[in-house]
Amino acid sequence: MDISRIRALRGPNLWSRRTAIQAIVTCQGAECAIEQLPGFEARLRERFPEVGHLVPDDSLDPVSLAHVLEFAALGLQAQAGCPVTFSRTTRTIDAGVYQVVVEYTEEDVGRLAFERAEQLCLAALNDTPFDLAGALGELRELNEDIRLGPSTSAIVSAAQARGIPFRRLTRGSLVQFGWGSRQKRIQAAETSLTSAIAESIAQDKELTKRLLHAAGVPVPIGRPVEDEDDAWRAAQEVGLPVVVKPQNGNQGKGISVNLDNEERVRAAYRLASDLYDDIMVERYLPGHDWRILVIGNKLIAAARRDPPTIVGDGAHTVRELVDIVNSDPRRSDGHSTSLTKIRFDEVALGRLAEQGYSADSVPPLGARVALRDNANLSTGGTATDVTDDVHPELAAAAIAAAQTVGLDIAGIDVVCETILRPLEEQQGGIVEVNAAPGLRMHLDPSFGKGRAVGEAIIDMMFRNGPNGAPDNGRIPLVAIAGTNGKTTTSRLIGRIFEAGGKRVGMTSTDGIYVQGRRIDTGDCSGPRSARNVLMHPDVDAAVLETARGGVLREGLGFDMCDVAVVTNIGQGDHLGLNYITTVDELAVVKRVIVENVAPGGTAVLNAADPVVAGMAGHCPGDVIFFARDKANPVLATHRAQNRRVVYAESGALVCQDGREKHAIPFSRIPLTRNGSVGFQVENAMAATAAGWALGLSWDIIEQALAGFVSDAVTAPGRFNVFDYRGATLIADYGHNPDAIEALVRAVEAMPAARRLVVISGAGDRRDEDIRRQTEILGQAFDEAVLYQDACQRGRADGEVVALLRQGLAQAARTRHVDEINGEFLAIDTALARLRPDDLCLILIDQVEAALAHIARACGR
């Protein structure tokens, strides 16, 4: 068994909406049917009993090692605690070659599961050992290290429930919510709304106390100290007992409380100064430790925090009791679980000594032994939810503290006897205000019910709009797929958005554009470019050309689109690559955007293309059909059902919804050359339908159509027309039989004394597709100039030109053929032959350079 081309599908894809690892797996001989491998399944189950049923219920094919790999990779992740359920194995057209797809929740874990699954299969095949416990432990540890922590995960889950898209930006807790200009970010419990100044104030505990005191919020008295002697002086000034703590600390590190003598004060100072530079002493407030969570201007949750404590049983030592408590599966070394393991360190030993115990003491039955004075969860403390018990005046004081510091999310530490009474009545106070507070104690407290903290944070970040509709952080998103016309349609939709005042981000085969400025070059029609546009803060609307290669390679770069446009499929393109060999298989790839239309969105489909029209049943939203022929059966049926359609009638583009019609004369759509260029008419229809689906006004749509001219600046390489000494030049990037047929129909409608064509072919197409292009051209052009372009895409020198020549062998019209090495020389050769009233179609390869070359020639 050989595994190759492992890919991560990071968005909705050909197989499902789930993220998945995809691999090409080659099996040989008996590996194609494990029933031919004596004892294999028994050996496999010895090594991994939970592998599950190996024969799918809906499969009549033999179970291969590729299938076993699938089940093993999925099962290992599931046993390691990853919530995965989807997998698939399909045979390709090549004998013994399979595509295996297995869901993952964390990409690195999914890849590691594939590796360990392969090792498991080989161990069962060769009857060698396999360390199942080690593999599962490795997967669990990796998953624990890289998955989101509980605080961030709760916020992400709340965003998902609201339909807000998210993207993890680092391996840590930095997450983007929303798209483009509507995006916001979090890092754990800190948001992009959090003030850096407020965070700085919260870190300075002395400054925080002064500000709170000035605002009338009760706080303990105290001051910063310079050294150990000054710490004791400060303790005498404020009165014992006292608290010694770092002035800029977190997670309870370096804090010592209830210090009632000089020795303990000095020892606490030394402990804190080992960790931090700036130390302060303040009056100790008796009572319990409470944490109040304020989000925006609301108290969302409150908890009583208790120090890590063990209860004696008269049999075990203190050390053994700590080990027993730490064996609780809810406790871990980090913050990924609801509780943290109790630290049994010097601080714990010191606290034991104060109570007359050592690590090896056996506390009597029922004796409660504290292992720390402070109740921070990071050192093993516990939390009890008390949200419903907080006195209104105490709640108001906590909210005032957060607003005084300026934090949008604040953890307010309160010390008092009870939260049922105001602070002033019980000499309590607020001892700290924390930025980016931990949320664990409120999400999953040790005792009491968890609170919807993630939802509260999302509600604060994404408030409802003026009409009361919930804000989902999305911007309008249009995805375009098809064989031909994608780029022109994308650009025209972008113009419609711009006419409506939107700042547009667009991806296409010739770059990424933001507000009309190209920020990246090359073929940018894949998911990475889509994600880059959706991350750009200056984008109010996204128009994403979505090529088949990116969908197969990585999936979509977004979860849902408002409008999915499929221009056409025709005879297809790039067939034979990536195991996509037929038009129907290609259509399955292209329709991925249709399958991922938002429930309230729309698919805009070409009714004249049967394969595209068949995608309508896969759309979760509405469908608008377009076709030039009003009588097209699919379109006519749709229209009869009072559903929206776009067609051509009486020299106009007509949009009809039930009995309502809106007509736009082709004379006001220059792209169509007064309706004479059929494929441009269809592109205009698709773009118009997209604008209609988005609810844009007809004035906006018509303004955009009227201002869109298919020249070398607006739509480079898309039917760009030039005048050359009285002859007409047309430059186009057409590179498949469907595009060539559409171009021929367009130029045949244009008068010309003679017609010349300049053409090369893309080497990564099938032989028959390359030949077919010149077979079509040979019926419409008098002369042809064949050229070899700069990139042969895996073909030998002269191979593409030879195929083009073969296509002209039975040409009905072409009588003169030249073969030229080099695109620009081929263009010059054709231009030298042109006379006034001739027409020359130049099928360019290097779009920008070729257009510049033609423009210079016309200028001369």
Q: Tell me: do 661 and 728 sit in the same domain.
A: no
pLDDT score of 464:
76
| Residue 691 sits in the same domain as residue 724 | no
Binning pLDDT at 50, 70 and 90, where does residue 820 land?
very high
DSSP-derived pairing of the beta strands 174-177 and 222-225: unpaired
Whether pLDDT at 824 is above 70: yes
Give pLDDT, residue 752: 94
Whether pLDDT at 793 is above 80: no
How many domains would you assign to the chain? Answer: 3
468-484 residue pLDDT tens: 777 999 999 999 999 99
- Residues 698, 794: one domain? no
Q: What's the pLDDT score for residue 58?
A: 58
The average confidence (pLDDT) of the chain is 92
Residue 796 has pLDDT above 90, yes or no: no
- The total of other beta-carbon atoms located within 10 Å of residue 533's CB is 28
775 plus 818 within the same structural domain: yes
Position 649 scores a pLDDT of 96
10 and 86 in a single domain? The answer is: yes
| Whether residue 688 sits in one domain with residue 771 | no
For residue 493, is it within any domain?
Answer: yes
Please write the tens of the pLDDT for every residue from 201-229.
Answer: 999 888 999 999 999 999 999 899 999 99
Residue 348: predicted pLDDT: 85
H or E element at residue 305: strand 298-306
Residue 303 located in a structural domain: no
Q: Mark whether 18 and 126 lie in a shared domain.
A: yes
Q: Return the CATH number at 578.
A: 3.40.1190.10
CATH number at residue 745: 3.90.190.20
Residues found in the chain: 860
State phi, psi for 240 to the nearest 5 degrees: -75, 155
pLDDT tens for 120-153 read: 999 999 999 999 999 999 999 999 999 998 889 9
In a domain, 293, yes or no: no
Q: Which structure tokens are listed for 504?
A: 């547009």
Q: Which of 114, 145, 176 is the last residue of a domain?
A: 145
**Mean per-residue pLDDT for 282-296?**
93
What is the pLDDT at residue 837? 95
Shared domain check, 659 and 631: yes
Residue 11 located in a structural domain: yes
At 835 the pLDDT is 95
Please provide the DSSP assignment of 750-771 as one string: S--S-EEEEE---TTS-HHHHH
Distance CA 295, CA 279 (A): 29
Indicate whether 696 and 749 sit together in one domain. Answer: no
Mean pLDDT of 493-505: 97
79 and 131, same domain (yes or no): yes
Q: What is the pLDDT of residue 768?
A: 87
Could you tell me the strand order of the sheet in which 97-103 lies? 2-9, 20-26, 97-103, 87-91
Q: Is residue 369 part of a domain?
A: no
The boundaries of the domain holding residue 74 are 2-145
Q: Looking at 123-196, which runs of residues are DSSP E strands?
A: 166-168, 174-177, 184-187, 190-191
- Judge whether 818 lies within some domain: yes
- pLDDT value, residue 714: 84
Residue 56 has pLDDT above 60, yes or no: no
Decide if 354 is inside a domain: no
Reported as a single tens digit per residue, the pLDDT across 566-621 is: 999 987 666 656 677 788 888 999 999 999 999 999 999 999 999 999 999 999 99
Percent of the chain with pLDDT over 70: 97
- pLDDT value at residue 576: 59
Q: Are residues 679 and 765 located together in one domain of the fold?
A: no
Rounded mean pLDDT, 716-745: 91
Q: Looking at the structure, tell me whether residues 732 and 795 fall in a common domain.
A: yes
CB 378 within 8 A of CB 441: no
Instruction: Identify whether 347 is part of a domain.
Output: no
Specify the pLDDT at position 353: 87
Mean pLDDT of 849-855: 94
- pLDDT of residue 331 exceeding 90: no
Cβ–Cβ < 8 Å for 100, 66:
yes
d(CA 168, CA 185): 10
CA atoms within 13 A on the CB side of 88: 14
**pLDDT value, residue 791:** 63
